[in-house]
């Protein structure tokens, strides 16, 4: 597994070795030693699976008191996956990192605790699966506005307006959001 830092050093891109032949392929998607060697939490407690149509933007989501680390991958289709640093004391506070994840490239993105996470579907449909280091806690769930100019994410939008939930459409910007210390 090739593991490299993105524009934010704590947000990591995992690029697997794919073993393929006429039968198909085999790929390792997780090994705790990869995380242990970098001092990252590898105690995943929940796996999630999401399917969305083209033009859907989900996020930016985070849990404030029970922050989740997420290891995200697309198992069908393609997404533009984004992490935003919400740690006020961080040198990369308010910065973002984004990568394309697809069933074809089999890459994964590590989104550390203390970051908001979101993705935009660029293919006809996409299914993602992601491992979480903390259980989902609805009372702790927060959203950050996907198009906040203070953050300046360059989403690869296929149309002017993505498909959003009411929650994501009405999310506060960075200045009004509840943040990590």
Q: Among this protein's residues, is 120 annotated catalytic?
A: no
Catalytic residue among 62, 117, 120, 130: 130
Count Cβ neighbours within 10 Å for each residue of 108-145 and write b for 16 or more, e otherwise.
bbbbbbbbbbbbbbbbeebbbbbbbbbeeeeeeebbbb
Give the C-alpha separation, 134 to 99, whole Å.
23
Q: Among this protein's residues, is 117 annotated catalytic?
A: no
Give the C-alpha separation, 16 to 25, whole Å.
12
Catalytic residue among 19, 49, 61, 135: 61
Known catalytic residues are 61, 130
């Amino acid at each position: 597994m090739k593991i490299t830092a993105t524009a934010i050093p704590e947000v990591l891109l995992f690029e697997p070795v794919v073993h393929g032949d006429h039968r198909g392929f085999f790929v390792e998607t997780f090994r705790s030693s990869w995380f242990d060697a970098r001092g990252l939490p590898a105690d995943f407690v929940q796996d999630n699976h999401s399917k969305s149509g083209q033009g859907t933007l989900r996020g930016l989501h985070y849990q404030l008191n029970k922050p989740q680390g997420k290891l995200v991958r697309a198992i069908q289709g393609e997404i533009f996956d984004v992490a935003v640093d919400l740690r006020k004391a961080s040198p990369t506070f308010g910065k973002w990192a984004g990568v394309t994840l697809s069933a074809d490239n089999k890459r994964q993105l590590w989104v550390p605790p203390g970051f908001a996470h979101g993705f935009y579907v660029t293919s006809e449909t996409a299914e993602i699966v992601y491992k979480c280091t903390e259980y989902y806690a609805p009372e702790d769930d927060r959203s950050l506005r996907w198009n906040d100019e203070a953050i300046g994410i360059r989403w690869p939008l296929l149309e002017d307006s993505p498909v959003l939930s009411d929650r994501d459409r009405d999310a506060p910007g960075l200045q009004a959001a509840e943040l990590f210390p």
